[in-house]
């Protein structure tokens, strides 16, 4: 900072005021300081600044080290939203979302004096660790336990699953089968609940639940069974990767999509529009969820007494493509 001050011909206090965006600095002086900063390649020490001012422009995020589309897209969307408001994001990826791993990651963030924490916690094992976090730390949980009393932002999994199931029923199918995600994931549980409630409200039989693990392989494995059941004419899969494996299994058994079997997925991965046939699916609004998470976190940071039990539920949307038709036909079904 002293080097910047000397080059700009100002005091180090003036440099500090420019860095902190104080209003009582003339535009000419501000430009001189910014030019000196650019010439020297100066970068403020965020940790030192937090110690001096008691504030930080860094948000700590804890997430599972996974390539799964949903959590990865949620993290990307949150990083973009935070950067747009002037906050940097420090990410701690853990192998498992268990109590010890989350506690260690949170401790590392607190040692770096982050302004607040976001935990992407879609599995039940994260619950005990979140319950132990210090109450004074601003915290938002994304896709966490809906039963916990805490600030939570989540995609409406139940509504998305209902939309998928109702779309298949509207095409004329007698019932809808479901390949779920892992039972310890809140997203998977919500989608099962939405599927069951849509069938129950329509007075339809609820077929046996088939369980997957988010992978195409689990879709293929369950597809080997479903392909042998002529009554399975409509299938809702918990994500698009499961649908991909299912499509392969049905093709191997001569079951055509959508002529013989209709399929709806969930997530709208970029490849879904290029499946054969293009996949009808449910699209979560990751950007809206990220903005809501950031808004709730900033409210806690700025007002330490902010409501710590605020909830935001983000509605998904159905994307109708070519994988749904009436039983035995290829007539397109309006969304």
Q: Tell me: do 141 and 162 sit in the same domain.
A: no
Segment 97-111, tens digit of pLDDT? 888 888 889 888 988
Measured CA to CA, the distance from residue 217 to residue 179 in angstroms comes to 12
Q: Tell me: do 25 and 39 sit in the same domain.
A: yes
Q: Tell me: do 244 and 278 sit in the same domain.
A: yes
* Surface-to-core class of residue 24, CB atoms within 10 Å of its CB (0-12 exposed, 13-18 middle, 19+ buried): exposed
pTM for the structure as a whole = 0.81
Q: Tell me: do 162 and 280 sit in the same domain.
A: yes
Q: Tell me: do 171 and 205 sit in the same domain.
A: yes
Q: Tell me: do 185 and 270 sit in the same domain.
A: yes
Find the domain containing 16 and state its range: 2-44
Token pair recorded at residue 4: 């910047």
CA–CA distance from 264 to each of 71, 162, 165, 185 (Å)?
20, 11, 8, 20
Does a structural domain hold residue 94? yes
285 by DSSP, 3-state: which? coil
**pLDDT value at residue 52:** 44
Token pair recorded at residue 23: 């209003």
**pLDDT value at residue 16:** 82
Report residue 44's pLDDT band, with 50, 70 and 90 as the boundaries: low
Q: Tell me: do 151 and 291 sit in the same domain.
A: yes
Does a structural domain hold residue 330? no
**Arithmetic mean of pLDDT, 89-102:** 88
Measured CA to CA, the distance from residue 62 to residue 217 in angstroms comes to 28
Q: Find the range with the poorest average confidence among 176-180, 220-224, 285-289, 331-335.
A: 331-335
């Amino acid at each position: 900072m002293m080097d910047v001050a000397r080059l700009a011909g100002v005091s180090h206090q003036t440099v500090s005021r420019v860095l902190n965006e104080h209003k009582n600095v003339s535009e000419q002086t501000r430009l001189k300081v910014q030019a000196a900063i650019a010439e020297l390649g100066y970068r403020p020490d965020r940790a030192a600044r937090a110690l001096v001012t008691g504030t930080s422009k860094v948000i700590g995020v804890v997430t599972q080290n996974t390539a799964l589309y949903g959590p990865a897209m949620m993290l990307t969307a949150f990083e973009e939203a935070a950067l747009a408001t002037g906050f940097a994001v420090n990410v701690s990826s853990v192998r498992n979302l268990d109590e010890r791993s989350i506690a260690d990651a949170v401790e590392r963030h607190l040692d770096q004096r982050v302004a607040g924490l976001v935990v992407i916690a879609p599995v039940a094992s994260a619950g005990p660790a979140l319950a132990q976090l210090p109450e004074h730390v601003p915290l938002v949980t994304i896709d966490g336990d809906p039963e916990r009393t805490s600030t939570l932002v989540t995609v409406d999994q139940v509504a998305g699953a209902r939309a998928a199931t109702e779309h298949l029923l509207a095409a004329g199918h007698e019932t809808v089968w479901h390949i779920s995600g892992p039972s310890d994931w809140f997203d998977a549980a919500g989608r099962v609940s939405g599927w069951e409630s849509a069938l129950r409200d329509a007075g339809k039989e609820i077929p046996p639940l088939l369980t997957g693990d988010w992978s195409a392989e689990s879709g293929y494995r369950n597809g080997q069974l479903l392909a042998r059941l002529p009554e399975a004419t409509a299938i809702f899969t918990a994500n698009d990767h499961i649908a991909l494996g299912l499509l392969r299994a049905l093709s191997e058994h001569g079951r055509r999509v959508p002529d013989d079997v209709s399929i709806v997925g969930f997530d709208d991965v970029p490849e879904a529009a290029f499946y054969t046939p293009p996949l009808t699916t449910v699209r979560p609004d990751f950007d809206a969820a990220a903005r809501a998470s950031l808004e709730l976190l900033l409210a806690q940071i700025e007002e330490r007494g902010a409501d710590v039990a605020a909830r935001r539920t983000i509605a998904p949307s159905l994307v109708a493509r070519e994988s749904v038709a009436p039983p035995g036909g290829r007539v397109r079904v309006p969304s």
